[in-house]
């Protein structure tokens, strides 16, 4: 195992169990692109190390393998990259001291040659120098697990989502065979506490992250849920009252107000947000960053986890719709 990378181990375990990459993606909510990069040890195309650790923990549950093995392999891969895979590591990751020495020597040589070339060029063309145009490079950030679908557009910076009229039922069509994901879905009645109201620093949180106009927009008799993506991107799938199911990526710095008699929300990276219910800041626990929420919480027993079923064709239905159809 010492010569096996974490990506190789994942791919061999998955193929041995005859589990498709699409199945892993549906169950972990990690894109197939990110999973493929993970299996190829393409750390340069993956988010930072804490995100990769989260991926591995989710992947371990699907494969039924010990997550500690994956984490040990990850550390071994990060701390002792070979010459062959060194180019795939993000800039700044730890590499062998020998490699660092070679890089430093090469860098010094290149610097010396560059200085000589600059002075030579200056002496030959001093009278012909013209002002050089400055070029600002485009800022590029690490790719995160939160990628909006190509057909979807992120909402405006501030949105008020209210339930609309119930859509007309679609025309009857012949049901397609169930996918592998649909056949293996297991549903659970919600019993645990989903959220509580924050006590420490509640007023400070309101002042900093809940705009006055939203504080004044609360409608009595409704669940007024305000989500502010303060610390990073988060993806949302939600249903307010009898309105349609919506899904998109809420980019960092944007916010949304979801209002309805009953509201169901499925979030990724919930820890990157500040959430409020009827102007009260919420405290939400999640080990993985993924969270299912029902408002009001007293009605959680009427619903099942997962709240939504993501189908292969890109459509989404509620668990109740799925159960009634099957």
- Give the whole-angstrom CA distance, residue 72 versus residue 65: 13
Phi, psi of 52, deg, nearest 5? -60, -40
Alpha carbons within 13 angstroms on the beta-carbon side of residue 308 total 25
122: pLDDT strictly greater than 80: no
- Give the whole-angstrom CA distance, residue 67 versus residue 28: 15
Rounded to the nearest angstrom, the gap between the alpha carbon of residue 84 and the centroid of all alpha carbons in its chain is 29
Residue found under tokens 């988060």: 234
- Give the whole-angstrom CA distance, residue 257 versus residue 217: 9
Please list the helix, strand and coil fractions of the chain in percent, rounded to the nearest 5, in that order: 40, 20, 45
CB 41 within 8 A of CB 93: no
- Give the whole-angstrom CA distance, residue 68 versus residue 74: 10
**What local confidence, expressed as pLDDT, does residue 94 receive?**
40
pLDDT, greater one: 50 or 109: 50
User: What ranges do the domains of the chain cover?
Assistant: 6-88, 97-125, 158-166+177-325
CB 77 within 8 A of CB 6: yes
Length of the chain: 326
The pTM score is: 0.48
Task: Render pLDDT for 69-94 as a digit per residue (tens, 0 to 9).
Answer: 888 888 877 665 553 444 455 544 44
Q: Is 308 helix (H, G, I), strand (E, B) or coil?
A: strand
Instruction: Give domain 6-88's CATH superfamily.
Output: lambda repressor-like DNA-binding domains (1.10.260.40)
Task: Render pLDDT for 244-290 as a digit per residue (tens, 0 to 9).
Answer: 999 989 999 999 999 999 999 999 888 899 999 999 999 998 888 88
Residue found under tokens 């710095």: 253
Lowest mean pLDDT among 140-144, 200-204, 214-218: 140-144
153: pLDDT strictly greater than 60: no
């Amino acid at each position: 195992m010492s010569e096996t990378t974490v990506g190789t181990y994942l791919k061999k375990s998955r193929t041995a169990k005859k589990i498709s990459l699409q199945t892993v993606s549906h169950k972990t909510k990690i894109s197939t692109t990110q999973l493929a990069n993970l299996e190829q040890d393409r750390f340069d195309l993956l988010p930072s190390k804490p995100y990769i650790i989260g991926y591995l923990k989710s992947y371990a549950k699907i494969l039924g393998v010990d997550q500690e093995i994956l984490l040990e392999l990850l550390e071994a891969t990060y701390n002792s990259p070979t010459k062959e895979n060194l180019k795939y590591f993000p800039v700044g990751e730890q590499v062998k001291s020998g490699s660092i020495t070679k890089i430093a020597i090469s860098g010094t040589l290149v610097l010396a040659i560059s200085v000589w070339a600059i002075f030579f060029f200056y002496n030959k063309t001093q009278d012909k120098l013209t002002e050089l145009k400055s070029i600002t490079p485009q800022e590029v950030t690490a790719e995160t697990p939160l990628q909006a679908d190509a057909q979807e557009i992120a909402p405006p910076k501030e949105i008020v989502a209210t339930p609309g009229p119930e859509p007309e039922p679609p025309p009857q069509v012949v049901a397609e065979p169930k996918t592998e994901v649909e056949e293996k879905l297991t549903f659970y009645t919600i019993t645990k506490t989903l959220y509580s109201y924050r006590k420490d620093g509640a007023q400070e949180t309101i002042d900093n992250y809940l705009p006055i106009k939203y504080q004044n927009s609360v409608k009595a008799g409704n669940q007024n849920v305000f989500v502010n993506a303060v610390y990073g991107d988060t993806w949302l799938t939600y249903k307010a009252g009898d309105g349609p199911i919506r899904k998109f990526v809420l980019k960092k710095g944007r916010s949304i107000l979801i209002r309805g008699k009953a509201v169901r929300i499925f979030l990724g990276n919930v820890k990157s947000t500040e959430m409020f219910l009827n102007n009260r800041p919420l405290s939400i626990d999640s080990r993985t960053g993924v969270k299912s929420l029902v408002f009001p919480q007293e009605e959680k027993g009427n619903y099942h986890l997962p709240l939504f079923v993501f189908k292969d064709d890109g459509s989404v239905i509620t668990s109740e719709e799925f159960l009634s159809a099957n």
